[in-house]
Chain A
Amino acid sequence: MRAERGSWLVPAIAGLWLVGLSLGARAIYHFSTDRGTTGATPERWPRTSALRPAATGATAVVFLHPDCPCSRASVHELESAMRMLPLGARVIAVFEGMGDGALWAAVGTSSIERVLDDGTENARFGARTSGYAVVYDARGALAFRGGITASRGHVGDNMGRQKFAAALQGISHGDHHPVFGCALTSEPR
């Protein structure tokens, strides 16, 4: 029988194959959970910012790279979190340019305010990775900072989104979560 001939060979190859699969899975894991860098996020709403916080509620700002695929997952989670947006709250998406315009247009169909920025606001809020979100409460105090996706470009419920939503609703304060995504321009262009 052919299966009996060189019977050690197939298990050996199968073992190598499983090793290859494991390495691949490990690479995916590392890529997906590779945390993006963050800068110093002010504890109070920066007065130098051109952005205007909400008058009576919390204000959320999400910094997005317009072409980064991970940004779509962040927008997806952002929209999920905004289903229970409290009255007076304001959500702003800061785009580092318009890119190919697809994400800009997609965000335009929601209640998220869009702002084009040259990197100045990134620096002010300490955002260095696309998908980085900050929440300031109605008094201007920092309530949340970090990513709102489980991993890089991965949609679905996660702690980041839950903390973000809780901060936006004023339930929690001072939470943070790792951010996963492409690097943003850290200096104004």
Chain B
Amino acid sequence: MNALAAKIFAVKRARLHCQTDRMFFWLLLAQWLVAIVLACVLTPWSYADGARSVHFHVKCAIVLGGVINSLPIALIQTRPGWWGTRHAVAFSQMMWSALLIMITGGRIETHFHVFASLAFVAFYADWRVLVTATLAVTGDHLLRGVMWPDSVYGLANPEWWRFLEHATWVVLEDTVLVFGCLRTVRELRASAEHEARLEMTNATIERRVDERTRELGDSVERYRALVENTEAIPFELDARSGKMLYIAPQISRVLDLDAGELARFDGDALWALIHVEDRPRVVAALVSFARGKGRAGEPIDYRLVAKGGRISDVRTFLSDRAQNGTSIRGVTLDVTKQKAMESELRQAQKLESVGRLAAGVAHEINTPIQFISDSVQFAHDAIVDLLGLPEVDTATHAAGADPDIAYLVTELPRALRRAMEGTVRVSTIVRSMKTFAHRDTVNAAPVDLNDAIRSTVTIAASEYKYVAAVEVDCQPLPPVTCWVGEINQVVLNLLINAAHAIKEKGTSDGLGTIKISTRHDHGDVVVSVSDSGTGIPENIREHVFDPFFTTKPVGQGTGQGLALARSIVVDKHHGSLTFETSVGTGTTFHLRIPVQPPIYVENAA
């Protein structure tokens, strides 16, 4: 038996001893009570000379019974489980046998108390206690057998060995009881060994559980550290209540929260920080995704209003629907810098376009300026001539008597008219340039898209006029809420690409054709730019919107044009940019944006 089993065995045996002590506590008290009651019933009084007094048996039951109980009960109370306690109990139990036999007047039936007591003492499962009890009862028989044999054997002349006969019966019972005690101890030991094995198994399992828990904890911490030290902000959202179940602490950087504010930050408060114009759209997108309609990985761009009113641009990617769609997981990225860079890039490209167009624009301006100059020169010379001549008869002049006068009368108004037309053209070009280069405001604004497109066509004239004729077919459109500068950029890119496609195809058989049309289609406006160029080969069609993809020679194209165009149309205006093409025939790009930006009702969730 190993140490643990020995310890368990000791505990179990001590518990058994204590339990038996408690049993004897009540048994001893019960015997005391029974002895008093028996004495009171059987021998209440003794008589002498006609007077009666309390019988000696009653006094004896009370006093001697108390004495017999005193030590074992005191030990049971103060030292339960101690070996001395159970030996005292066994001894006193045998004394009770003697006292009860005396109180019942030596009734032979009361002698069975001895055997019953031995059985009770055997509850200790300790054979030594049985020895004590046996010695007590044998000693009592021996002593009384010598001094007062009538009281113990019920015989007038008992033989000397009578005590041995009585003791033999006691020993016979002891034999059975000792066997029972040993078996009980053996079972107790087996039970202890079994428990020890179980405990060791449990300890092993607990140790493994602890190890696994620690490993799991480490793993969780590792993943937490990994997750919470990236720029991405993972989150989990209860799709039914909208309650934010988890959001990584990096959100504090987006919302300018300090550590204390972050500790108090309730994920639900995040909803209030979504820009009021974006909130319906974000909610609708989340609801749609939770219902299984949205596609994982679709970006949702919106703005968060940080502490102090700073606006942060964020982009959320919803990754999966956990727990049967009751929660949504995803990551949010702070794209404020990216957005700013994109804006700068778009502006830079716009300025690049402006720069590139500048030469053409200068030429466009130069021509009207030239004939304005010529016309003004002519007008100047004519007026000088007129100032050098005498007073003429206007009637004669009118009749064409003087050929110079007649010439001046004809050409001077024409020159001034051309000068005025040139001025208008210059003004138009300059206004178009101004319109084109205009930096958009933060928010979209309603504009006349047809007017914007015409301006773009005007300033891009130098890009196409030697390769194609541009036909503009603008149908009436309602004011379109958009970032017009960016739409201009898209149209310019499409126009330049169209011109390049036509130029690539060649203009030996005359100028190509670029058609720009606008139309209103069920809440959207559609701007179509068609060219009669080369068309887009099938093998590159799927790459035309990829950033840095270009088919142009190095130095002539950055590969950013269509990628930016798509970003502007799709991401910023929630529209679409598609194309139809036929190699050798030409390409048509369709730019479709909503007249009004998408509006979602707040209670869409």
Contacts and interface: CB of A to CB of B under 8 A. Distances in A.
Interface in A140-161: 150-151, 153-159, 161
B154 interface: yes
A159 B150 CA distance: 9
Contacts of A162: 156
A90 to B, nearest CB: 25
A182 B84 contact: no
B415 interface: no
A183 B52 contact: no
A7 B32 CA distance: 29
B602 to A, nearest CB: 76
Interface string B96-114: 0010001001111000000
Given A24-B60, A183-B49, A17 B156 contact: no
A72 B105 contact: yes
A154 B600 CA distance: 111
Nearest to B63: A24
Nearest to A129: B48
A10 interface: yes
B46 A69 contact: yes
B562 interface: no
A159 B60 CA distance: 26
A182 B47 contact: yes
Interface in A66-119: 67-70, 72-73
Contact of B70 (A17, A70, A153): A17
A67 B47 contact: yes
B474 to A, nearest CB: 108
Interface residues of B, number: 43
Given A17-B67, A21-B67, A33 B45 contact: no
Contacts of B55: 69
Nearest to B98: A25
Given A24-B64, A69-B55, A182 B48 contact: yes
A41 to B, nearest CB: 20
Contacts of A69: 42-46, 55, 57, 105
Contacts of B49: 183, 185
Interface in B201-251: none
B466 interface: no
Contacts of B48: 182-183
A59 B228 CA distance: 119
A31 B71 contact: no
B82 A154 contact: no
A24 B67 contact: yes
A3 interface: yes
B166 interface: no
Interface in B67-88: 67-68, 70-71, 74-75, 79, 82-84, 88
A182 B48 CA distance: 6
Contacts of B88: 14, 17
A2 to B, nearest CB: 6
Contacts of A158: 150, 156
B553 to A, nearest CB: 102
A29 B148 contact: yes
Contact of A159 (B47, B70, B71, B156): B156
B56 interface: yes
Interface string B460-480: 000000000000000000000
A120 interface: no
A180 B391 CA distance: 192
A55 interface: no
Contacts of A70: 46
Nearest to B70: A17
A69 B79 CA distance: 41
B80 to A, nearest CB: 10
Interface string B136-165: 000000000001101101111100000000
B95 interface: yes
A87 B171 CA distance: 46
Given A24-B60, A65-B47, A32 B151 contact: yes
B52 A67 contact: yes
B156 A161 contact: yes
B260 interface: no
A17 B88 CA distance: 10
Interface string A1-44: 01100000010011001001100110111011100000000000
Given A29-B148, A151-B150, A14 B43 contact: no
Contacts of A29: 147-148
B154 A157 contact: yes
A21 B68 contact: yes
Nearest to B104: A155
Contacts of B154: 150, 155-157
A67 B45 contact: yes
Nearest to A3: B82
Contacts of A31: 56, 60
B555 interface: no
B510 interface: no
B82 A2 contact: yes
Contacts of B151: 32, 150-151, 154, 156
B50 interface: yes
A73 B50 contact: no
B82 A150 contact: no
Nearest to A17: B71
Contacts of B156: 150, 157-159, 161-162
A28 B105 contact: no
Nearest to B157: A159
Nearest to B47: A182
B42 A13 contact: no
B50 A185 contact: yes
B69 to A, nearest CB: 10
Nearest to A11: B84
Contacts of B102: 28, 32
B68 A156 contact: no
A158 B152 CA distance: 11
| A25, A67, A161, most chain B CB atoms within 10 A | A25
A185 B51 CA distance: 10
B44 to A, nearest CB: 8
B552 to A, nearest CB: 99
Contacts of B150: 150-151, 154, 156-159
Contacts of A65: 47
A161 to B, nearest CB: 7
Contacts of B105: 69, 72-73, 153-155
Given A21-B67, A24-B60, A68-B46, 4 more contacts: A3-B83, A156-B153, A157-B154, A185-B50
Q: Which 6 A-B pairs give the minimum distances between C-beta atoms?
A: A150-B150, A156-B154, A69-B43, A24-B64, A182-B47, A17-B71
23 contacts: A2-B82, A3-B84, A14-B84, A17-B71, A21-B68, A21-B95, A27-B64, A29-B148, A32-B148, A32-B151, A33-B148, A67-B52, A69-B44, A69-B57, A69-B105, A153-B57, A154-B105, A154-B150, A156-B108, A157-B150, A157-B154, A159-B156, A182-B47
